[in-house]
Structure 1
């Protein structure tokens, strides 16, 4: 018979100015989201911890501490976690609690070198963890926060061309203005039909995020279609041009991450797909670099 023990105390973690701070909706699963306070690299993390013994009981403890942790959780690696940041402060020496007590903490100018991420096989999170040490079992509470990184890549002004072709049957040129975009940017381009001898039924343009975790031979790749647009319905003719304006704001996009702590990467692709009357699909992908603008 399993025995379940209720926690003998409540722990509340409040960050200074939390109510006035911008929050980010973080997806917990397909149906649930949680609002998490937003921080940036170099910003101080401070707040108050309140410990409340239940039912007025006298509670013995062997110390109370708070930690600020940055960790990468690998779902494909048996749920293993890798801490890349660990800071700690002692809040109380061993003793007794009978009434609610509050403790202040402060981690100054914390370097948060990576942006928070919640993906398919990996999660990068920052959180404050409070531990009330006890001889039987520690009582632990955690409070998440979200981190944005503003790393602007150098400007690239040259246009990018992407060809889709089948010899003597089809030749399409997709040209767009640049390969680097901020998350609220607009992709401006055109699709030009040089040769059309297939009966094209319609054409789609998709944005795909590809997440890579682990290292060979235990490497996992997962692709997720973030948005799909039908940009043509009907057969095109030779010489026809279709203008493209794709507004990125409003979609669930993340910046491009390359080899984060040697654990994972995320890349974003534009995918052009043509479907003919026999439901055959012809496609071409080209990578774009996304970044977060202050």
Structure 2
């Protein structure tokens, strides 16, 4: 403060706020947590002053998330009330949550079958259904029947944001990364290994129906292209969590 200046105020407070913002529809945005502490009663500030505060019962329900259509954030808001208005200052901070329940869950493989009449039949196996953010997706694709000319196979990691629920739900898909797994036509009995390092992909943990507002899912999308550029694909949702 300027030493020759004083500030009359009606009170000073600090708030901790957790907010979900639907970026293309602010009417659906809302706060899921709001805590408040009074720092000072009505008075006069004649010099710089510091206030101690704490939010001991702050329950970190959700991890911070910054997506294409939705944002989940936490911030502190300091407010100084005056006769003619308010002076506010906000500081955002991030929250990371380690999911120990997922760490202790038993794993099971995922088996997918992609078939088309009597022309194509393959089996795709992922060794796990749940992955931490630093994990490696491992598996294999086995071709049991190939009677069409397949020229290429890709595996993509898709992030799917679901806004709302029921008939009004909106979905946004974003391909985070795409790998070419095979170039050229396979033969019956060929086995193509799968190995994807998640640590190099910009991912968050999965979110399931957060405050009835949104969900975030991750999908492995196996795509095959034939000589006429027709696509054959099989998708599988996986669970992603933070281990440490």
TM-score, normalised via structure 1 length = 0.77
1-structure distance, mates of 2:69, 2:194: 33
2-structure distance, mates of 1:220, 1:158: 31
Matches within 5 A, 1:226-241: 226-241=176-191
Determine which of 140, 147, 161 is the counterpart of 2:95. Answer: 147
Counterpart residue number, 1:168: 118
1:292 maps to 2:242: yes
Determine which of 112, 119, 133 is the counterpart of 1:183. Answer: 133
Q: Does the CA-based 8 Å contact 2:3-2:46 persist in structure 1?
A: no
Distance 1:84 1:78, change over 3 A: closer
1-structure distance, mates of 2:165, 2:77: 30
Matches within 5 A, 1:183-262: 183-262=133-212
Determine which of 51, 72, 82 is the counterpart of 1:103. Answer: 51
Corresponding residue SS for 1:106: coil
**Deviation of 1:82 (Å):** 1.6
Counterpart residue number, 1:10: none
**Deviation of 1:156 (Å):** 3.5
Structure with the higher helix share, 1 or 2: 2
2-structure distance, mates of 1:216, 1:160: 27
**Deviation of 1:137 (Å):** 2.3
**Deviation of 1:56 (Å):** 4.6
**Deviation of 1:130 (Å):** 0.4
- Aligned-residue CA RMSD in angstroms? 1.7
Determine which of 32, 35, 47 is the counterpart of 1:84. Answer: 32
Corresponding residue SS for 2:44: strand
Matched pairs, number? 242
Q: Does the CA-based 8 Å contact 2:3-2:47 persist in structure 1?
A: no
Matches within 5 A, 1:119-158: 119-151=67-99, 152-153=101-102, 155-158=105-108
Counterpart residue number, 2:215: 265
Corresponding residue SS for 1:217: helix
Residue range with higher mean Cα deviation, 148-157 or 123-132: 148-157
2-structure distance, mates of 1:56, 1:217: 62
Corresponding residue SS for 1:112: coil
**Deviation of 1:157 (Å):** 3.1
Q: Does the CA-based 8 Å contact 1:156-1:179 persist in structure 2?
A: no
Residue range with higher mean Cα deviation, 155-164 or 174-183: 155-164
1-structure distance, mates of 2:40, 2:205: 40
What stretches of structure 1 move > 4 A for 4+ residues in a row? none
Q: Does the CA-based 8 Å contact 1:56-1:99 persist in structure 2?
A: no
Counterpart residue number, 2:16: 68
Q: Does the CA-based 8 Å contact 1:156-1:180 persist in structure 2?
A: no
The CA deviation string for residues 76-107 of structure 1, in whole angstroms up to 9 with x for no partner, is 43354322211111111122224222212111
2-structure distance, mates of 1:73, 1:89: 24
Q: Does the CA-based 8 Å contact 1:171-1:195 persist in structure 2?
A: yes
**Deviation of 1:178 (Å):** 1.4
Counterpart residue number, 1:278: 228
Q: Does the CA-based 8 Å contact 2:135-2:197 persist in structure 1?
A: yes
